[in-house]
Chains A and B, each alone.
Chain A
Amino acid sequence: MKQMHLAAHFPGVNSTTVWTDPRSRSQIDFASFEHLARTAERGKFDFFFLAEGLRLREHDGRIHDLDVVGRPESLTVLNALAAVTERLGLAATVNATFNEPYELARRLATLDHLSAGRAAWNVVTSSDAFTGENFRRGGFLDRADRYTRAAEFVSTARKLWDSWTPDGISRPFQHSGQHFEISGEFTVPRPPQGHPVVIQAGDSDEGREFAASAADVIFTRHGTLDAGRAFYADVKARLAKYGRQPGDLKIMPGVTVVIGDTDAEARENAAEIRRQQVSPQNAILALEQVWGRDLSSYDPDGPLPAIDPDPGSSLVQGRVRVADPAAVAARWRELSEAGGLSIRQTVIESTARQSFIGSPETVAAELEKSVAADAADGFILVPHLTPGGLDDFVDRVVPLLQERGVFRSEYTGSTLRSHLGLAEPVWNG
Chain B
Amino acid sequence: MSAIRPLHLAAEIGGPPRYDAGSHVALARLAEEGTLDFVTLSDSFARPGPDALAVMARAAPATARIGLVPTVTTTHTEPFHVSSAVATLDWVSKGRAGWHVDVSATEAEARLFGRRPAAPAAALWQEAGEAADAGARLWDSWEDDAEIRDVATGRFIDRDKLHYVDFKGSTFSVRGPAIVPRPPQGRPVTVIDGTTGPAREAAAQHADVVHIRATTPEQAASLRDELLRSAAAHGRDPAGLRVLVALTVDLGDAEAAPEPGLRSGPQLAGRGTYFRGGPVDLAELITRWHGGGAADGFHLTPIAPRRDLERIVNGTVALLQHRSLFRTFYPGGTLREHLGLARPAGRYTRVSSSEGTS
Residues in chain A within 8 A of chain B (CB atoms): 19-20, 28-30, 34, 53-56, 62-63, 65-73, 75-77, 79-80, 82-84, 98-100, 102-103, 106-107, 109-111, 113-116, 133-136, 138, 170, 180-184, 187-189, 279-282
Contacts and interface: CB of A to CB of B under 8 A. Distances in A.
Contacts of B149: 19-20
Given A19-B156, A30-B91, A75-B85, A188 B113 contact: no
Contacts of A56: 162, 177, 179
Nearest to B19: A113
Nearest to A175: B114
Given A62-B159, A70-B147, A111-B54, 19 more contacts: A28-B180, A30-B92, A54-B80, A54-B179, A63-B162, A69-B156, A72-B88, A73-B88, A73-B180, A76-B53, A76-B54, A79-B54, A83-B25, A114-B20, A114-B54, A114-B55, A170-B48, A183-B111, A184-B112
A189 B19 contact: yes
Contacts of A84: 61
Contacts of B159: 62-63, 65
Nearest to A187: B48
Nearest to B176: A134
A interface majority secondary structure: loop
B81 interface: yes
Interface in B81-100: 81, 84-85, 87-89, 91-94
Interface residues of B, number: 64
B269 interface: no
Interface in B302-352: none
Given A65-B158, A134-B80, A114 B114 contact: no
Interface in B151-201: 151, 153-159, 162, 171-177, 179-181
B78 A99 contact: yes
Contact of B20 (A67, A79, A100, A113): A113
21 contacts: A34-B61, A56-B179, A72-B84, A72-B87, A76-B88, A79-B54, A80-B60, A80-B61, A83-B61, A98-B78, A114-B58, A133-B175, A134-B80, A134-B174, A135-B172, A136-B78, A138-B173, A182-B111, A182-B113, A182-B114, A189-B19
Interface of B: 17, 19-21, 25, 44-45, 47-51, 53-55, 57-62, 76-78, 80-81, 84-85, 87-89, 91-94, 108-109, 111-115, 142, 147, 149, 151, 153-159, 162, 171-177, 179-181
Given A70-B181, A80-B61, A188 B153 contact: no
Q: Give the 10 A-B residue pairs with the shortest CB-CB distance, closest first.
A: A281-B154, A79-B57, A133-B175, A80-B92, A76-B88, A83-B61, A73-B84, A110-B51, A72-B88, A73-B88
Contact of B180 (A72, A82, A107): A72
Contacts of B47: 187
A28 B181 CA distance: 8
A281 B156 CA distance: 11
B179 A29 contact: no
A107 B155 contact: no
A133 B173 contact: yes
Nearest to B60: A80
Contacts, number: 185
Nearest to A103: B77
Contacts of B154: 20, 66, 279-282
Contact of B155 (A66, A76, A109): A66
A100 B76 contact: yes
Contacts of B151: 20
A330 to B, nearest CB: 27
Contacts of B108: 184
Given A66-B156, A107-B51, A134-B176, A83 B88 contact: no
Contacts of B156: 19, 65-69
Nearest to A179: B114
B112 A69 contact: no
A196 to B, nearest CB: 13
Contacts of B91: 28-30, 72, 77
A136 B19 CA distance: 30
Given A28-B180, A65-B158, A73-B87, A106 B80 contact: no
Contacts of B50: 109-110, 113-114, 187-188
Contacts of A282: 154
Contacts of A180: 114
Contacts of A189: 19
A281 to B, nearest CB: 4
A288 to B, nearest CB: 14
B20 A76 contact: no
A70 B61 contact: no
Nearest to A66: B154
B58 A80 contact: yes
A170 B48 CA distance: 9
B185 to A, nearest CB: 14
Contacts of A34: 61
Contact of B57 (A71, A80, A181): A80
